[in-house]
Amino acid sequence: MKKFEYRLEELHIDIKSALNPVYTELHDQLEEKLNELGKEGWRLCGVNGCLYYFAREL
């Protein structure tokens, strides 16, 4: 059976704002952070406001 660990990150970047073409700087900051976590094996599972939920297989 697969096992996972989970991580919560409070990123002060609202995803709706980051996806708005007016806020390209927010988009770039969020993309950079997500890529950083992705390189560590974390996979984004969900977003609730500024809370981002990640999981990775053990």
* pTM over cut 0.75: yes
pLDDT of residue 55: 98
pLDDT of residue 49: 85
pLDDT of residue 17: 83
List pLDDT tens digits, range 8-54: 999 988 888 888 888 888 889 999 999 999 999 999 999 998 899 99
Using alpha carbons only, what angle is made at residue 11 by residues 8 and 46, rounded to the nearest 5 degrees? Answer: 50
27 versus 57: the higher-pLDDT residue is 57
Strand partners, 57: 4
Give the three-class secondary structure for 37. Answer: helix
25 versus 4: the higher-pLDDT residue is 4
Extract the tokens encoding 17: 């704002």
